[in-house]
Structure 1
Amino acid sequence: MNTTTEVEDLLRELAPRVLGALVRRHGGFDVCEDAVQEALLAAALQWPTEGVPDNPRGWLTTVASRRRTESWRADSARRRREETAAAQAPPNPDPAPAVDDTLTLLLLCCHPSLTQVSRVALTLRAVGGLSTAEIARAFLVPEATVGQRISRAKQRIKADGAEFRLPPPAEVAERTAAVLHVLYLIFNEGYTASSGAALHRVELTGEAIRLTRQVRDRLPDDGEVAGLLALMLLTDARRPARTRPDGALVPLAEQDRTRWDAQTIAEGVTLITATLASAPIGPYQLQAAIAAVHDEAASSADTDWPQILGLYHLLDAIAPGPMVTLNHVVAVAMVHGPRVGLRRLAAAAADPALAGHHRVHAVRAHLLDLAGDRDAARTQYELAARSTLSVPEQRYLNSRAAQLT
């Protein structure tokens, strides 16, 4: 194995294990994380041409340990202490081979003291193994901005005295929920980019799925972890049919379902079916169940909308939110008619969280079109197009408006 893609995949798999080994042995998350990033960069440059070493994790751990030692020695105030520690404990090529600290790292990166954007950036770098430049490209923000977020996050963790260990049992559920929310945000940004020329950012959806699989491996009995993974799989399975060759968006009802990934759908359906039967119901499970109903329908006309409406009733009760409200309105309209849906939408649009959101205009346009009010629908599609920063969504919404002229 020596292709660039294979090496990148291996490095992302090993990144949290190497970082965990260093932090566990030396302490100092901020210094160790910088050292691991330097080791990953060195490997990314060397391995594709020189070949992957027999013990890649040991290679990375050794290089990162040396980088950490060099960094500490550069600090004159710590030189004597570092030299003494280095003499007593020379670098071990694999200090903690039996310990997998991925979950501990995820929980640390999603520490309660950090902002949401900082949690996302730090998770992708420390656990995902992405470079600052890769994260910046994925989110279409300057590299310096991402670097500042990561730096501030590490400073905050250090200032708060956060320890590299699993939280007390009473805090595990809340901290795990924060991790799942970060992974959910990463996936959503990758599946429907909030801005830019591309609808998808596959590097983000792929990374979110990979990390969620890792969390499930470590928490196999957590229903919401399984629900989130199933939701990602069932949603991502439709990606091949979401765009035309020119990049234009294709709505769910018009997608060629033969292009959906049947194997991924089968995995997601199996996972959510087993989870619903064995775990307390949570919002990610309900969203996955809704996705499964869509994916199992042979055509748009065959969609079991009454079942979807019932699932949205439950979801709205246990995890209300702006997007849940909008999707609930669509389900109401599909079961009870567009005029009923429009009345529900008028009430929902009074929520400040939805004020001016392009999806409100898009849903209203769709329902007005179904109700036969073409002129009003066209106006709403045009408003929606002007309100989004996503180029593919703008093109789609403008095309729908043009069809109604």
Structure 2
Amino acid sequence: FTIRGTTDAGLYLNNCPGATVDNVVFESCGGTRGAIWVENNGTFTLGAGNSIGGTGVACSWPLTIDPEAFPDPGCVIPTTGNTNNAIQVRSGNGDRTGSWPAFAGLDYVVTVNATIATAGNLTLGDGVTVRFNGNTRFDVFGTLNAAGTAGQGVTLDRNTGSDWYGLRFYTSGGGNFAYCSMTGAAAGFDVNGAGTLMLDHVTVTDGGYGIQSTTGALTLRNCRVFDNSTYGVYLGGGTMSFGIDPDQWNDIYDNGGGTAGRNLRNGPSDLTAAFVYWGSTDHATIKAGITDQEDNASLGLVTVTPFLNANHQTEGTGVDDPELPDGALPVATALFQNHPNPFNPTTTLRFDLKTAGPVRLEIFDLKGARVATLLDGPLPAGHQQVTWRGTDDAGHPQASGVYLYRLEADGLRAVRRMTLVR
């Protein structure tokens, strides 16, 4: 039979899991939702016998779905003859589990903010492209995944010239994104809750913020975050985990539109951001692209060493001190961040001494009580390092927590923080 001339949707499926639509002609279904509208439904199938548009009386969309409608991979969806040859995504409050497969020549287009509820779980299949109208987004209270591969991947992009909002994760919302690219999102990956987000081989570029987190737990592996106009990574809180060796590299560079400190803005806790290529192998240039405690006392310190070059080979080693030629004397007396940090049970404290003289290096707890004295005597000029084994002067192991270490030398009195985790 034929459905013609509707003002909203030609056929509406709601809570009809497993439904099949076949051998139906849809003509001039020019309303908001087009020929077929499926929501709150689970899986469904469109057969090869359907005719949607293409007969001179086009439909506005061949198919409209919400985040809990999952077309079967075998669906036959016409790619020509409609005003918009794409799958429209609208609204919803998806609490079902399923996936969106890729269809040749058909993108998914989000025209109205779409929501994944706490119990919902949506996976974007390999090869899927989702395009977003200006300022639209996914609100994720449950789980959103991207199951891309190196061969195809998942693409998230703007639909028109204006930026879309991004993916916003609330409460416990999170997910795993593999081989995914995000382009043109004003807020990027925006973690506004306590959820967990894993990004693996994800590229975020040409947006406002690349990645931002208020309270969530994020892990970055083999990700590229570059050419975002506001910040590359912005941490208001939560935790961020970077790689533990060069094979787990990340690239974070050229963010902030030329404004200093915009590749990474740290939150209130110390952060180890190692095995990252920052667009440079010059230590001073790298640090200039980062905002941390050295710029704002309310923020934690960021340790960037060891850092990588563009080929993801290790360049900087040890702790955050400039790379100097072998045998060169320091140009200034300075105290650097310990490494590793956090640590268990030992860490290395390094400092530069411009001129020979007396040196005192001490450990304190946050109440100001001295825990240990590591150095108290003369040292020659040069690059110095001392290992602290997490004990007091009597050799008693200290509890987990934040400790201060203070250097007094050559007229300098400098203090830094470190975290012992048992």
Q: TM over 0.5: same fold?
A: no
The structure whose residues are more often strand, as a share, is: 2
Instruction: State the TM-score, normalized to the length of structure 2.
Output: 0.29
The structure whose residues are more often helix, as a share, is: 1
Instruction: State the TM-score, normalized to the length of structure 1.
Output: 0.30
